[in-house]
Amino acid sequence: GCLPRAPPAADGLVCGTADGALRVWVRTGGGGDDAVWRCEEHLALRFGGGAAATIACVEPLTAQLGLLAVSCLHDEGGSAGEGVEPHGSGASLLRVPLPAHGGAVAILDVARSAVLATLDAHTDVVRCMCALPDGGLATGGGPQDRSVRVWARSQWEDQPREERGGDAVPVRREATQTLSAPGYVFALAALPDANPGGSKLFALACARYNTVRICL
């Protein structure tokens, strides 16, 4: 599974599993031993045909966990099919379009239990992601892809129903920027301009083994 902690303001945790279950936990009460963790949302991700969407990694896009980027892997050998009950009781079932190359990133509106869009440009499953200061997202593909792609917030923001083809989930296959130089990376981090009165520009740190590349 994967356990990305939310930004400090949210005081929460997101858990994703290999069978497509996604849970959002929020801490209540005091700190230390007095803290109580409560499951606020329980979602079950399924591809067309009913196969579970194995969750490879998760990245919160907002401080209050309202928007999540979820990297989903399509396991063609999976046994889950139509009619299979979502993982656990009380889970909301979300359908994700089948990816072109085995994996894609689903942008989820947790409060509405909705898939806003999928980002499907990598040729291998996305292994790491990073929310960007401008509201966008950076995604790092697996070893068969060896690229980092930058996506704009406008690529998943709500669109009129007529423009997105009724109830169909929009599939975005073109990122706003593709970085080949970093290659296959294990982690991504945004480095904003910290100077007083600084610009909205930022750099992107891409890490693999003992090497970190800084992309401007």
Q: Compare 170 and 78 and report the one with higher pLDDT.
A: 170
pLDDT higher than 50, residue 5? no
Q: Which two tokens stand for residue 80?
A: 């889950």
pLDDT of amino acid 82? 44
Q: What pLDDT, in 10s, does the model give residues 47-71?
A: 987 888 999 999 999 876 689 999 9
CB 66 within 8 A of CB 73: no
pLDDT of amino acid 150? 96
Average pLDDT taken over every residue of the chain: 84
Mean pLDDT within 137-147: 95
Using 50, 70 and 90 to split pLDDT, how confident is the model at 164? Answer: low
Mean pLDDT within 193-211: 86
pLDDT of amino acid 86? 47
Using 50, 70 and 90 to split pLDDT, how confident is the model at 90? Answer: confident
pLDDT of amino acid 10? 54
Cα dihedral: 40, 42, 43, 44 (round 10): 170
Let me know the angle formed at the C-alpha of 94 by 92 and 99, rounded to the nearest 5 degrees.
155
